[in-house]
Structure 1
Amino acid sequence: MHRVTLLAYDGFQVLDATGPAAVFEVAGEFGGGYVLTLASSNGGPVRSSSGLVLQTAPLAEVGPGDTLLVPGAESLRAAIEDEALISGVRAAAADGRRVASVCSGAFVLAAAGLLDGRRAATHWAAVAELKRRHPKIRVDGESIFVEDRGVWTSAGVTAGIDLALAMVGRDCGDELARKVARKLVVYHRRPGSQSQHSALLEMVTPDNRFAPLLAWARSRLGEPLPVERLADQAALSVRQFTRAFTKSTGLAPAKAVERLRVEAARAAIEAGAPSLQMVALSTGFRGPDRMRRAFVRHTGLPPSACRGERTLSGSTEAGPVPDETSV
């Protein structure tokens, strides 16, 4: 039997909790042995952001469980200032329970000190704030979910379903996870490394002065794109361009191009490209080894993960990769 506790608090996003709950419920119907409990710091009725009120048990009285999952919310101030709730989350982790968050629920795990030194995902719109508040976290604004040393985090809403399916796959095997996905009519194997959105859209807004340049570069990824060529296209000196581009986008030019290449390569692999060598050459990496290093830097996973050749978890297995800025 696997006991899952869903942690509620005032204003939580109901689908962040009920999406994963449906996965575990159906997994239980197929013999997965999951038992669900909805808890809050004090117990009793808790109102979600949609106005739905759910009855909860006091977290301290739920007893030891196997998985604790924290949903997100539009406003988390009350939750992260609730010492009983934060202490309960911290105690769950100390007891060896698997701890997870959906969307901005990562802020609750962060407040409990559980994400320091770990890679963690959250909704793309909350990435900058999580980085600002908790600089010790390696915030992953790309992946839809991440597992790092037993702590699971995911992006917004439906990514919580992907995370729960990955947990079922880990606990009960891939075939049972596939049955659950089929019954829920959801996609079974969205790898954790799958991007939440376009890297180009993340880097710039439409009115950014360098948006046309990035669109130009994105259409020429198979060609050499050194900083000199980018600066010439922008009609600036290399020094002026590098300073202005980095200030405007938050990325050095070489890193921006590399992210565009990773995004294009990932899309090609997921679409069924016949070989990694072909993908690497067509996206400007010049070879599979260079492409692999870029993938690990930006997603924590190798290119093969896009074909589902790894586990469902999206966990980080690769070690540190030397930085490379030449593109």
Structure 2
Amino acid sequence: MAVVAILALDGVLPFELSVPGQIFGKANEVAGRDHYELRVCAAGRRAVTAAGYGGLALSTPWDLDGLTDADTVVIPGHAAFLDEPPAPVLGALRAAAGNGARLASICVGAFTLAATGLLDGHRATTHWHHAAELARRHPAVDVDPAALFVDNGTLITSAGIAAALDLCLHLLRRDLGAAIAAGTARHTVMPLQRDGGQSQYVEHPAPDDPGNTLQPTLHWLESRLRDPLTLDDIARQAAMSVRSLNRHFRAQTGTTPLQWLLRARVRRARELLETTAIPVERIAAETGFGSSAAFRRHFSRHAGVSPQTYRSAFGAPDVTEDAGHPRPTTRP
């Protein structure tokens, strides 16, 4: 059984503290057997959550030594994240890494992880609001303010707050595959993988007309992933000029219309690769890439691996060619 140890520093943010238990504990239920042992570890076996979020007093059976033999150590953010972490905490994290554990930080927990020196020379992320400060304090870390999470194998960092769910589901999918991860995500009422990065959550100026929402246009695009759409096509459907369309998309989604469409196509391709055995060529056609070569190029750039490699890693076992495959999208 794999041990997941969650570090509880004084001032720990309660949501981030609870997410690993929710995801990995629910995964045990979905799988029908205990794959994970969960530990909350705190110095002196006691901690208090951030006062501004309720100030709950915690008592746990596990001291910091519970981190050192864990398979995964999760480091949530805490209120005093800009302070130097206590030496025993840094020692326990370094010992866990030395014993082969993967260390995963949530939000500003990246500051604690970076203080160990283990992130030096690696790409990492944190909440977009604090990314510049992380880069200033730790210049040897390559800070990416746009990513929802960054996976370096045994060092994983995630963005702010809700990205704790993305991180834990990603680790779960790495461990147990897409089927268990998808089942856990459904029970959590959470998509298995959110599309895009933090740029969609960075504060943008409000649209000029608050009543002019892009939601109908986004639904329209989702229903036409197979079609060779142009900017002019999208602008006509949205009843605005191309220039206005680009401005509204930037303001409301943090990206351009064609980039949003590309990500939606990749997201749909991921679903088909995970849940069906239909050929790559057919997936390329059904997701609007036109050719298998174009599909492989775009998919590899966004997912980091080829479609076949992705299917090998995350495809559900024993699927038939059309298992879980809804009817192709058609125009109403």
TM-score band w.r.t. shorter chain: 0.5 to 0.7
> 1:97, CA displacement in angstroms?
0.7
Matches within 5 A, 1:216-231: none
Q: Please list the CA deviations of residues 277-296 of structure 1 after superposition, one character each: whole Å capped at 9, or x if unmatched.
A: x9789xxxxx779867xx85
Q: Please list the CA deviations of residues 198-244 of structure 1 after superposition, one character each: whole Å capped at 9, or x if unmatched.
A: 3xx85x9649xxxxxxxxxxxx979xxxxxxxxxx9xxxxxxxxxxx
The answer to whether 1:301 aligns with 2:304 is yes
Measure the CA separation in 2 of the matches of 1:195 and 1:89: 28
Measure the CA separation in 1 of the matches of 2:13 and 2:92: 20
Quote the residue 1:266 is aligned against: 263
Measure the CA separation in 1 of the matches of 2:37 and 2:154: 20
Mapped contact 2:67–2:96 kept (Cα < 8 A) = no
Quote the residue 2:74 is aligned against: 69
C-alpha change, 1:291 and 1:24, in structure 2 (3 Å) is closer
Q: Please list the CA deviations of residues 176-214 of structure 1 after superposition, one character each: whole Å capped at 9, or x if unmatched.
A: 222222222222x216x731233xx85x9649xxxxxxx
Which of 184, 190, 194 lines up with 2:193 in the alignment?
A: 190
Measure the CA separation in 2 of the matches of 1:175 and 1:280: 26
> 1:75, CA displacement in angstroms?
3.1
Measure the CA separation in 2 of the matches of 1:140 and 1:303: 23
The answer to which structure, 1 or 2, has the higher relative contact order (CA under 8 A, 6+ apart) is 1
TM-score of the aligned structures, taking structure 2 as reference length: 0.63
Which secondary structure state, in structure 1, belongs to the residue aligned with residue 146 of structure 2? coil
Quote the residue 2:24 is aligned against: 24
Query: Structure 1 unaligned runs (5+)?
Result: 208-219, 223-232, 234-255, 282-286, 313-327
Measure the CA separation in 1 of the matches of 2:177 and 2:102: 17
Measure the CA separation in 2 of the matches of 1:179 and 1:205: 34
Quote the residue 1:253 is aligned against: none
Measure the CA separation in 2 of the matches of 1:132 and 1:179: 40
Query: Structure 2 unaligned runs (5+)?
Result: 207-229, 233-242, 244-253, 270-282, 315-332
> 1:73, CA displacement in angstroms?
2.7
C-alpha change, 1:47 and 1:206, in structure 2 (3 Å) is closer
Measure the CA separation in 1 of the matches of 2:10 and 2:131: 22
Q: Which amino acid aligns with 1:115?
A: L
Measure the CA separation in 2 of the matches of 1:291 and 1:184: 30
> 1:268, CA displacement in angstroms?
5.1
Q: Percent identity?
A: 32
Q: Which amino acid aligns with 1:4?
A: V
Quote the residue 1:146 is aligned against: 150
Quote the residue 2:46 is aligned against: 44
Q: Which amino acid aligns with 1:194?
A: G
Cα RMSD over matched residues? 3.7
C-alpha change, 1:260 and 1:73, in structure 2 (3 Å) is farther
Q: Which amino acid aligns with 1:265?
A: L
Q: Please list the CA deviations of residues 20-52 of structure 1 after superposition, one character each: whole Å capped at 9, or x if unmatched.
A: 211111122231421111112332243334212
Quote the residue 1:59 is aligned against: 64
TM-score of the aligned structures, taking structure 1 as reference length: 0.64
Measure the CA separation in 2 of the matches of 1:25 and 1:103: 21
Measure the CA separation in 2 of the matches of 1:142 and 1:32: 35
Measure the CA separation in 2 of the matches of 1:144 and 1:13: 18
Q: Which amino acid aligns with 1:190?
A: Q
Which of 81, 103, 109 lines up with 2:85 in the alignment?
A: 81
Question: How many residues are matched?
Answer: 252
